[in-house]
Amino acid sequence: MRVLAFDTATAACTVAVASEERVLAELTLQVPRAHSTRLMPLIAQALREAGVDRRELDAIAVGVGPGSFTGLRIGLATAKGLALALDKPVVPVSTLAAAAYGTGAQIGLVVPLFDAKRDQVFSAVYAAGDRDPATWVEVLGPVNLHVDELVERVRTIRAGMQHTWQFVTLCGDVAETHAPRFGPDQAVRVAAAGALLPRGSAVAALGLSLLKRGGGVAPDALVPIYLRKSEAESLWEARKSRSAP
């Protein structure tokens, strides 16, 4: 099987083409507010470098968040359009899971931390497995929590696990910022700089694993994971509430 995979929910616009055996091509750009203009050229370039015609794809794997509202809309609209044009299934992949898997961790817990503003984070907790994504376990999430509440939840999870689960790998765009809040603990580390954000290859690996287990869906069934309302929606509701009699 071959999949085209991409994620636009974070600052990274990342694309990969992969088969069950290997990653055939992977491209990532970090250009603020440019996903709408960069995604399709990246897809075309990745397919060209992989030597794969889009008609040879078996599915489209896409990161469904949580993350940037605008980024998610761009990514999901593109995935739906391609899947409809090619008559292929779409595989929804958690952006948090892709970030965690992309760290390369094979022991302990992996905790992605993405900025949700006001000292809150989009997060989840995964028990790392081997390089087969099916061996990874979602222990918590996805959630939108104050970072201090997340720290307490991770501490509780660690306390109830075997010693090999005591290791914690942090990733995400605010991992370095919030790492000290997890305590002066040698078992807590921040992922390497190139593994903080989700990568297309991780989305592809998770997508292929889900596809083999029946995780593909029709394009019109694809929905994002938002976890909270957008700032614009919150402001509109606040104004509506104030104007109500």
pLDDT value at 238 more than 60? no
Take residue 227 and report the two structure tokens written for it.
């976890």
Residue 173 and residue 209 in one domain: no
With respect to residue 234, please indicate whether it lies within any of the assigned structural domains: no
Residue 15 and residue 82 in one domain: yes
With respect to residue 204, please indicate whether it lies within any of the assigned structural domains: yes
Per-residue pLDDT of 73-114, as tens digits, reads: 999 999 999 999 999 999 999 999 999 999 999 989 999 999
pLDDT value at 230 more than 70? no
So what's the pLDDT on residue 215? 95
Residue 134 and residue 14 in one domain: no
So what's the pLDDT on residue 162? 67
pLDDT value at 12 more than 50? yes
Residue 147 and residue 203 in one domain: no
The domain that holds 106 is classified in CATH as 3.30.420
Domain around 66 = 2-95+198-229
With respect to residue 237, please indicate whether it lies within any of the assigned structural domains: no
The domain that holds 214 is classified in CATH as 3.30.420.40
CA distance 35 to 192: 24
Residue 68 and residue 181 in one domain: no
Residue 175 and residue 120 in one domain: yes
Residue 218 and residue 180 in one domain: no
pTM of this prediction? 0.92
Residue 37 and residue 69 in one domain: yes
Residue 82 and residue 164 in one domain: no
33 versus 138: which is more confidently predicted? 138
So what's the pLDDT on residue 245? 56
**How many structural domains does the chain have?**
2
With respect to residue 46, please indicate whether it lies within any of the assigned structural domains: yes
Lowest mean pLDDT among 179-183, 196-200, 228-232, 235-239: 235-239
Average pLDDT, the chain: 92
With respect to residue 44, please indicate whether it lies within any of the assigned structural domains: yes
pLDDT level of residue 32 (50, 70, 90 thresholds) = confident
With respect to residue 179, please indicate whether it lies within any of the assigned structural domains: yes
Query: Within 13 Å, how many C-alpha atoms sit on residue 171's CB side?
Result: 29
So what's the pLDDT on residue 95? 98
